[in-house]
Amino acid sequence: MMSSMAWRKLKKSRTAMISLSIVLAYLFIGIGCEVYTVFCEAHNITPLFALTDETNCYAPPSPAHWCGTDYQGRDVLARAVAGIASALKVGFVASVIASVIGVCLGAFAGYFGGRTDDWVVWLYSTFAAMPTALFILAFALLFSRNFLAPELLLVVRGAGKLLHADPGALAVYLAIGLTGWITLCRVVRGETMRLKNMGYIQAAKVAGVGDVTIIFRHILPNVFHLVIIYFTLSFASAIMLEVIVSYLGFGVQSTPSWGLMISDGQERLWRGVWWELATATGFLFVLVLALNLLGDALRDALDPRSAK
Name every residue whose Cβ is closer than 8 Å to that of residue 134 and which is 6 or more positions away in sequence: none
d(CA 28, CA 31): 5
Please tell me the distance from the alpha carbon of residue 131 to that of residue 179, in angstroms, as a whole number: 9
Query: pLDDT tens track of the chain, all 308 residues?
Result: 446 777 787 888 889 899 999 999 999 999 999 999 989 988 899 898 888 888 888 888 999 889 999 888 899 999 999 999 989 988 898 899 999 999 999 999 999 988 999 999 999 998 888 887 778 777 777 776 666 667 776 776 777 777 777 777 787 888 888 888 999 999 999 999 988 888 888 888 888 888 888 888 888 888 888 888 888 888 888 888 888 888 877 777 778 889 888 888 887 888 888 999 999 999 999 999 999 999 888 888 776 555 44
Query: Per DSSP, what are the bridge partners of residue 69?
Result: 75
- The count of residues in the chain is 308
- Class at the top of the CATH hierarchy for domain 4-53+64-307: mainly alpha
**Cα–Cα distance for residue pair 62/74, rounded to 1 Å:** 14
CA angle at 201 for the pair 199 and 205, rounded to the nearest 5°: 115
CA 277 to chain centre: 22
pTM, full prediction: 0.86
Q: What angle do CA 44, 46, 50 make, to 5 degrees?
A: 150
| Alpha-carbon span 178 to 241, nearest angstrom | 13
Sign of CA dihedral 214, 216, 217, 222: positive
Spell out the alpha helix ranges (H) of the chain: 4-11, 14-42, 76-112, 114-129, 132-144, 150-163, 167-179, 182-195, 199-206, 211-214, 220-247, 258-267, 275-302
Could you tell me which residues come within 8 angstroms of residue 210 by beta carbon, excluding any fewer than 6 positions away?
none
Q: Any idea where the domains of the chain sit in the sequence? A: 4-53+64-307
